Structure 1
Amino acid sequence: MPTAVTGGAGFLGSHIVDYFVDQGRDIVVIDDFSSGHEENLSDSLSDVDVRDVDLCDRTAAIDALSDIDVVVHLAAKIGGIGYFHHVPADIISINDAMNRNVLDAAVEHDMDRVCYASSSMVYENATEFPVTEEQLGEIPPPDSAYGFQKLAGEYYCRAYHDQHDVEYSIFRPFNAVGPREPPGEEVGQAHVIPDFVLKINDEKQHPLEILGSGEQIRSFTNVRDIAAGVYKCAYDEAATNDHFNLGSAEAISMLELAELIWERCDREEPFAVERQESFEHDVKKRIPDSTKAKERLGWTPEISLEESLTEYIDWYHQHV
């Protein structure tokens, strides 16, 4: 029986589809194309079954997943920090409905596993770094609607396992970077790397406008590395009914990141920034500990940030 990837036409989802197809898996893409694009699937389109489905429609969702063995559930309202602040009610209500319908389908069709895409935002209030999976029960819950909803999705998985014996695995990607993620129409609608490339390459900002102090710390992980980790979470027995960080521990400040992109966009002016007021829930530091994924699943990220930036900017020049 096939594996379904919900949200499979999106940025992360399409890379997961490509990786799974390369591994010989029979893949069904479930997407309503509200934000995903069929062109993202160009490398795998001839090898997958694409189903245009609104997962908020309970009947449609359950019908679309009737022949599925494993579902990798990524479909969600998602964006950059600005997006989180504009539509918090939509994020909670729509994502909650999709989670419930996918898990109900898993019960009805006796699926082998639901592999749920959580988020590093569940660690929004962490104060000790790098963050481990064990810290999750010790830190306060997220303040943002997005982080809280992703954490609620994890509780859904555990509750459906406890009540209905649905097997699950949970992965938390940390700041995926790679092709197929265009910038948003306004600052914060997409993630930081597309935003920076737009400002530096297209808008030719000088000085570069940057949100907050620029001292915010992040760890970026190549999207293909994340796809390899998701594959292990979807099929490896060691991932059954457990949760894993999938991220690089290579940390960088936003000022350092911006300067790297400035150099790769061949700007002649000296690098300079102008600080703008940040959003309320702009996390100051986020660094993962992925030791558990290494020890249990044999997964480690292999692609450096520098290589990822070059890959993204090359794609940007060709497609954006």
Structure 2
Amino acid sequence: MRDARKSPVVSQKVAITGGAGFLGSHIVDYFVEQGEDVVVVDDFSSGEAENLEQSADDVEIRELDLRSEDAIDGLDDIDVVVHLAAKIGGIGYFHHVPADIIAMNDAMNKVVFDAAVEHDFDRVVYASSSMVYERATEFPVTEDQISEIPPPDSAYGFQKLAGEYYCRAYHDQYDVEYSIFRPFNAVGPREPPGEEVGQAHVIPDFVLKILDKEQYPLKILGDGRQVRSFTNVRDIARGVYLCSFEDAAANDHFNLGSEEGVSMRDLARKIWERSGREVDIEFETTEAFAHDVQKRVPSSQKAQEVLGWEPEITLDESLEQYIGWYEEEVL
């Protein structure tokens, strides 16, 4: 099994779509560290060039609109593509633009998979989402449950599941090799808070309210007892690397997430304790968004057994990293 801490013997040209985004840029950094020849594919509609500063001298940047079939020609020399490019945000964002999510993400998927056929990629590594498990009722969720539970209610979750069908359909018809990873709530530097509640993910939202706005009482969506697991971006990047090159990952799907669940109230308390606020935390509950499921916690057993992957960075360590970055770069 390839050791993700060591460079491969032969470098391959890897395109990372959406590589200027929050998660994408961390994956870019990790692949560069492993000695890969990395091409960042992004239209910079939401990704930021400064996210790539750490690896700027070691990557090629191709500004492509993956909704256009013309982009296929811009991927003619690629060996492996890690496909993250998508319209994405927090739960509030999902509810504001569901039609755009379906249409635009589907268009990007088609271009990437058509390019895989046209240029004979070695593998497509597809970024799915924990949202495909929206309607799960048994926890921790395992990969096998994806064929047993009803499809997601949200447009985003449904579209991500449709992307998984692209993987299998292009494999069945065109013999395109793929690997699917489902990240569970990535956390780390470079993810700014949104302008509105729910536009970004919950940790940036809480940090904005607690450290920046010094909100009191703290407003939370729903009753705050929703449970999620959070996974450091560095751990996810390592898992994506294994999905890209391990023979055992071919034509299979993996949860990449911490098995430790935490309620939103307890998450807020952890951030509050690090903020230096002198008053005890108090909550003000607000109406939750539709499809804000009460629990989402994965089993990572399959990734452990097949890929030798498991999270190494704790939530407390991840919060320290994120808050440190926020205080330095945002405040």
* Interval of TM-score (by shorter of Structure 1 and Structure 2): over 0.9
Q: CA deviation at 1:64?
A: 1.4
Q: CA deviation at 1:181?
A: 0.1
Q: Which residue of 2 aligns with 1:52?
A: 63
Q: CA deviation at 1:49?
A: 0.1
Q: How does 1:265-304 map to 2 (within 5 A)?
A: 265-304=275-314
Q: Which residue of 1 aligns with 2:126?
A: 116
Q: How does 1:57-206 map to 2 (within 5 A)?
A: 57-59=68-70, 61-206=71-216
| C-alpha distance after superposition, 1:203-241 (max 9, x if no partner) | 111100000010000000000000000000011000000
Q: Which residue of 1 aligns with 2:36?
A: 25
Q: Does 1:209 align with 2:224?
A: no
Q: Report the residue type matching 1:254 in the other structure.
A: M
Task: Give the structure-1-normalised TM-score.
Answer: 0.99
Helix, strand or coil for the counterpart of 2:296? coil
Q: CA deviation at 1:265?
A: 1.1
Partner of residue 307 from structure 1, selected from 289, 308, 317: 317
Partner of residue 238 from structure 2, selected from 224, 228, 235: 228
Partner of residue 264 from structure 2, selected from 249, 254, 271: 254
Q: CA deviation at 1:315?
A: 0.1
Paired with 1:301 and 1:260, the residues of 2 have a C-alpha distance of: 20
The root-mean-square deviation of aligned C-alpha atoms, in Å, is 0.5
Q: CA deviation at 1:273?
A: 0.5
| C-alpha distance after superposition, 1:143-196 (max 9, x if no partner) | 000000000000001000000000000000000000000000100000000000
Q: Report the residue type matching 1:230 in the other structure.
A: V
Q: CA deviation at 1:63?
A: 1.3
Paired with 1:262 and 1:276, the residues of 2 have a C-alpha distance of: 19
Helix, strand or coil for the counterpart of 1:27? strand
Paired with 1:150 and 1:58, the residues of 2 have a C-alpha distance of: 20
Paired with 1:64 and 1:291, the residues of 2 have a C-alpha distance of: 37
Partner of residue 317 from structure 1, selected from 291, 303, 327: 327
Q: After the TM superposition, which segments of 4 or more aligned residues of structure 1 sit over 4 Å from their partners?
A: none
Paired with 1:65 and 1:258, the residues of 2 have a C-alpha distance of: 43
Paired with 1:248 and 1:62, the residues of 2 have a C-alpha distance of: 35
Helix, strand or coil for the counterpart of 1:146? helix
Helix, strand or coil for the counterpart of 1:116? strand
Size of the aligned set, in residue pairs, is 319
Paired with 1:136 and 1:152, the residues of 2 have a C-alpha distance of: 12
| C-alpha distance after superposition, 1:15-41 (max 9, x if no partner) | 000000000000000000111001001
Q: CA deviation at 1:139?
A: 0.4
Paired with 1:291 and 1:317, the residues of 2 have a C-alpha distance of: 35
Task: Give the structure-2-normalised TM-score.
Answer: 0.96
